[in-house]
Structure formats: C-alpha cells, structure tokens
Amino acid sequence: MKLLNEILRGILIGIANIIPGVSGGTMAVSMGIYDDIIYSITHLFTDMKKSIRTLFPYILGAGIGIVCLSFIIEYLFLHFPIQTNLCFIGLILGGLPIITKRIKIKRSDFSHSLIFILFFALIIGMQLLGGQGTKDVTIQISLFEIIKLFLIGAVASATMVIPGVSGSMMLMIIGYYNPIISHINLFIKALVALNFDQLIQSSMILVPFGLGVVIGIFLIAKIIEILLKHYESHTYCAILGLVIASPIAILMGIHSTTFNLPILLTSAITFIIGLIIARFAGQE
C-alpha cells in the first residue's frame, strides 16, 4: 500500500511537470515529500541505497504520469479546462496544512512577510509574462545553440524543483516549450521507424538539454537543502508564497469564457476531489 501511495504521488508530480503553470515541486510540497526528495537527490552518491529506495517509486510514477497519462490530461484540458484546473487547485490547497506546520515563527518578523510577498509576486509576474504569449524559437544545430540548450535545460529543471514555479511555463515564456516537445515526439517516431538521421538530429538537441536538466536538478536541490537546513522558516515562507500564488496563476491561465451552473457544479466537485487526493497522498 505504501509503494502504491508513493507511485501515485509520482504520477501527480509527473503530470504537473508537463503542464504549463503547474509545478511538480508544488505537488511534492503539498504531499509532504519535498524534503525527502531533496535529501535523496543531494545524497544520491553518499547514501545511495536510501536515496534510490526513496526516489525510485516517485520516478516510476512520474514516468507513468508523463508517458501514459499526458494524452488524457491534454484531452481533459481541451474539453474540460475549468474542471481540470480546479482539480489541480484542490491538489495544491489540500497540502497547505503540511507547509504551514513547517513555518515555526516564534515572533512577528518583517523579513518573513517580505519573503512571502516577493515570492508570491514572482509567480504572478511569471504568469503575466507567459500569458502574453511568446513566439516559438527555431532551433538550429550549432555550438552556440548546444550551449544555450544546456543552459536552458538547467534553468528549466531548476524551476521544476522549486515549488510553485512551472518549468514548462518557463520554457513557454522563452519560446522553447513547443520546439522541445516537438523534438521529443520526433525522436520517439524516429526510434520506432529506425530513422537514424532523425534520431541523430533530435539527439543533438535533446542530449544537451537533458544534461542541463540533470545538472540543474542536482544544483538547485543542493541550494534548497542548505536553505532548509539554515533558514527553514524563511525558506518555507518563500515556498508558501509560491504555493499560494499557484492557484491564482492557474486561474489566470484559464481562457474559457463559458460559465454556467453545470460547469460550476462539476468544477466544485473536481476541486473537492483534488482536496481529497491531496489529503490521501499526504498521509504516510
């Protein structure tokens, strides 16, 4: 049962990471597993057995979420955008008690409030930038582009680890979301068709991006571990700002103008379902 619960959590993290505006880090925090994941990433080589045991079900679940359920989520967002978004908002808000328990403030401190406001504003600002739309870039293979892809992968992965910040939204803002997704699809099709020319071409784009993703995850995880160790309350105030801003950013991203009683009722139901799932996934 515990393994199934961990895989379920991984599925939610995987789905969240591929949806612009939703953060896998937020899902991890809301389910109370963020600290464990950060520790396991940063101690992968020094405490390998424990780290692999912790990360494996989450990685497996994330893989299932991305590969097997992404098309279902795409369908739901296309045909039921409000209900689907409200479900994710329920998932996020359902984990708030877990976060607030970690903020141990003995006396009123202006610095905690300031950090909360700054990181809250960061998410709203990113959503405003992303909502304006950015023209997709055209990726041309060159040494400069390979270095750029590595750096973009590092930045995108770092934002995937930080709660409240959507790595997919970051890629969309800078115009690389659709090109990267397109090359992933091209790579899969070329692999099935054994088209080696296309495999090589797509690999020259995806490999540097993927290396950047791996480096970025390890780097930002180490930074977050240090912050949690020495400035836990301040760090969780920042995380709380990011997480509370996330539902607002999600609502800002809803472009549907159709609201009626059935939509409102079904949205309320999916919101409650999200709260229930978050409560279940947050239990040990």
pLDDT in tens, 227-240: 878 888 888 888 88
List CB contacts of 171: < 8 A, sequence separation 6 or more: 20, 152, 156, 177, 180
**What is residue 22's predicted lDDT score, i.e. its pLDDT?**
63
Asked if pLDDT for residue 217 goes beyond 80, the answer is yes
**pLDDT over 70 for what percent of the chain?**
80
Residue 118 has a CB neighbour count (10 Å cut-off) of 12
Question: 6, 56 in Cβ contact below 8 A?
Answer: no
Closest CA to 117 of 252, 240, 21: 240
- Residue 55: which of 39, 68, 71, 67 has the closest Cα? 39
pLDDT at 249 over 50: yes
Q: Are 169 and 130 in contact (CB under 8 A)?
A: yes
Contact 149, 208 (CB under 8 A): yes
pLDDT in tens, 147-185: 989 988 887 776 667 775 666 666 766 677 778 877 887
pLDDT, tens digit, 9 for 90 and up, residues 34-64: 888 888 988 988 889 999 999 999 989 888 8
State residue 133's pLDDT score.
47
Task: For residues 136-145, give the mean pLDDT.
Answer: 79
Listed residue (134, 194, 141) closest to 170, CA to CA: 134
Specify the pLDDT at position 172. 67
The pLDDT score that the predictor gives to residue 132 is: 47
pLDDT score recorded for residue 271: 92
Greater confidence, 7 or 175?
A: 7
Query: Whose CA is closest to 95, among 35, 17, 26?
Result: 26
Average pLDDT taken over every residue of the chain: 80
Asked whether 257 and 74 are in contact (CB, 8 A), the reply is no
With cut-offs at 50, 70 and 90, classify the pLDDT of residue 145: confident
- Spatial contact of 66 and 10, defined as CB atoms under 8 Å apart: no
**The predicted structure's pLDDT at residue 191:** 87
Six-digit token pair at 136?
Answer: 């997709």
